[in-house]
């Protein structure tokens, strides 16, 4: 079982925004709002969730607490490809990975440098790119869709390339949220899932096709003022189930005891918010064992992940460290968005636990 607490240590301090109930009501945000006030502190009017990316993450000052990232996973039945652009105030980086679920082949690479060298916009709806250290990456708005281009060399010398489209159906909703730990520590996330993809990823002579019926994009867009000690769970299940296009996003620990969460079920492009903390059952040391996630109060989520492969990155540079596991596999069980029961069998996705000093 997990050994990390169910909430961040900052919530044990005076002045924190700690909520002791595990079931709560989250306010829905329906109009654009700034994340921060003029002093760079949390704007109370931004706390809540939205079905569209309505938040402007106008972070300023407070070095080194600012953490900003644009993370994408593109996942299919046989592989997962990911690219992260991030600036965590100490450093900035572009990191990429590609994993083959069939034989476990794995490629990765990264470019690290000074903070401030990567443009990470305040709003979700913006093109991003990175061209340094042999990496050529662009994720650009192309009409209603996104055009993704990537070239890079992995640590073992294998050349990786990708050219594909991320299709964004009209009216497709997303899970956007602001989590408050205190007036000076808070996080804004925009989670997008169940976005069909069309194109190809290549690793040397290997070819991985992205077909819209079986390959999907998932975005984690994050901007916030984080405490030095942090950890989280995050999981995603995405694809077709019970005659529906499904995207399930769930998390724990970093949102625990805040009265906010990243738990939601996307059904045919419509978000159903799950307003309760979830129970996670897993062994982070033996990641190959099943992971279970349950919404005990509402019954909205009861899913089990059977892992196929995992990423286990770790880094310790003294004052900054990170480590954990992300297990990729197939989810089975049931989701019940607002009383509608949808059986899930073999839906691709992942579950993770990570811990940071940053």
pLDDT, residue 274, reads 98
Q: Rg (Cα) of the chain, in Å, rounded? A: 19
Q: What does the longest C-alpha to C-alpha distance in the chain come to?
A: 57
Say yes or no to pLDDT of 2 above 90: no
User: Is residue 186 one of the residues assigned to a domain?
Assistant: yes
Cβ partners under 8 Å of residue 118, min gap 6: 85, 86, 87, 92, 94, 130
User: Is residue 145 one of the residues assigned to a domain?
Assistant: yes
User: Is residue 3 one of the residues assigned to a domain?
Assistant: no
- pLDDT-derived band at 317 (thresholds 50, 70, 90) equals confident
Q: Can you point out the beta strands (E) in 253-311?
A: 264-267, 270-273, 279-281, 291-294, 301-311
Say yes or no to pLDDT of 139 above 90: yes
User: Is residue 157 one of the residues assigned to a domain?
Assistant: yes
Q: How far apart are CA 348 and CA 328, in angstroms?
A: 8
% of residues, the chain, pLDDT over 90 = 96
99, 311 contact by CB (below 8 A) = yes
User: Is residue 348 one of the residues assigned to a domain?
Assistant: yes
Average pLDDT on 8-29 reads: 96
45-93: pLDDT as tens digits: 999 999 999 999 999 999 999 999 999 999 999 999 999 999 999 999 9
pLDDT, residue 33, reads 98
Q: Can you point out the beta strands (E) in 226-300?
A: 229-241, 244-252, 264-267, 270-273, 279-281, 291-294
72: part of which helix (H) or strand (E)?
strand 66-75
Pair of tokens at residue 92: 């900035």
Counting the structural domains of the chain, the total is: 1
Q: How far apart are CA 293 and CA 308, in angstroms?
A: 17
Average pLDDT on 331-354 reads: 97
Average pLDDT on 313-342 reads: 94
Host domain of residue 26: 9-357
DSSP character string of 98-149: EEETTT--EEEEEEEE-TTSS---SSSSS-EEEEETTEEEEEEEETTEEEEE
Assign 12 to helix, strand or coil: helix
Residue (of 221, 228, 224, 219) closest to 322 by Cα position: 228
Average pLDDT on 210-225 reads: 98
- pLDDT-derived band at 358 (thresholds 50, 70, 90) equals very high
164-199: pLDDT as tens digits: 999 999 999 999 999 999 999 999 999 999 999 999
- pLDDT-derived band at 1 (thresholds 50, 70, 90) equals very low
Q: How far apart are CA 56 and CA 54, in angstroms?
A: 7
pLDDT, residue 303, reads 98
pLDDT, residue 319, reads 87
61, 82 contact by CB (below 8 A) = no
How much helix, strand and coil, in percent to the nearest 5, is found in the chain? 5, 55, 40
User: Is residue 1 one of the residues assigned to a domain?
Assistant: no
Instruction: Note the pTM of the prediction, 2 decimals.
Output: 0.97
Name the average pLDDT for the chain: 97
Say yes or no to pLDDT of 318 above 90: no
> For residue 319, how far is the Cα from the chain centroid?
24
Q: How many other C-beta atoms can be found within 10 angstroms of the C-beta atom of residue 9?
A: 14
User: Is residue 4 one of the residues assigned to a domain?
Assistant: no
269-293: pLDDT as tens digits: 999 999 999 999 999 889 999 999 9
243-270: pLDDT as tens digits: 999 999 999 999 999 999 999 999 999 9
> For residue 259, how far is the Cα from the chain centroid?
19
21-40: pLDDT as tens digits: 999 999 999 999 999 999 99
How big is the chain, counted in residues?
Answer: 358
């Amino acid at each position: 079982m997990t050994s990390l607490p169910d909430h961040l240590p900052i919530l044990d301090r005076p002045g924190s925004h700690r909520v002791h109930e595990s079931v709560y009501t989250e306010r829905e945000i329906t109009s654009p709002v700034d994340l921060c006030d003029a002093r760079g502190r949390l704007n109370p009017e931004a706390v809540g969730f939205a079905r569209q990316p309505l938040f402007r993450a106008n972070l300023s000052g407070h070095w080194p607490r600012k953490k900003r990232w644009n993370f994408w996973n593109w996942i299919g039945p046989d592989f997962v490809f990911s690219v992260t652009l991030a600036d965590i105030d100490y450093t900035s980086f572009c990191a990429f990975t590609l994993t083959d679920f069939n034989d476990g082949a794995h490629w990765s690479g990264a470019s690290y440098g000074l903070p401030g060298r990567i443009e990470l916009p305040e709003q979700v709806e913006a093109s991003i790119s990175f061209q340094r250290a042999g990496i050529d990456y662009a994720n650009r708005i192309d009409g209603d869709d996104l055009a993704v281009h990537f070239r890079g060399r992995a640590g073992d010398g294998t050349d990786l390339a990708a050219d594909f489209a991320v299709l964004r159906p009209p009216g497709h909703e997303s899970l956007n949220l602001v989590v408050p730990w205190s007036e000076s520590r808070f996080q804004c996330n925009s989670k997008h899932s169940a976005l069909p993809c069309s194109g190809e990823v290549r690793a040397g002579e290997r070819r991985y096709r992205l077909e819209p019926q079986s390959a999907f994009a998932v975005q984690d867009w994050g901007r916030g003022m984080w405490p030095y000690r942090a950890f989280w769970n995050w999981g995603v299940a995405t694809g077709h189930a019970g005659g529906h296009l499904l995207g399930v996003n769930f998390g724990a620990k970093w949102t625990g005891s805040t009265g906010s969460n990243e738990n939601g079920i996307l059904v045919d492009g419509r978000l159903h918010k799950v307003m309760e903390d979830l129970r996670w059952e897993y062994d982070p040391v033996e990641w190959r064992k099943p992971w279970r996630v349950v919404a005990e109060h509402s019954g909205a989520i009861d899913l089990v992940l059977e892992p196929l492969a995992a990423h286990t990155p770790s880094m310790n540079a003294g004052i900054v460290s990170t480590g954990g596991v992300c297990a990729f596999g197939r989810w089975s069980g049931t989701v019940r968005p607002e009383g509608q029961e949808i059986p899930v069998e073999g839906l691709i996705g992942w579950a993770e636990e990570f811990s940071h000093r940053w």
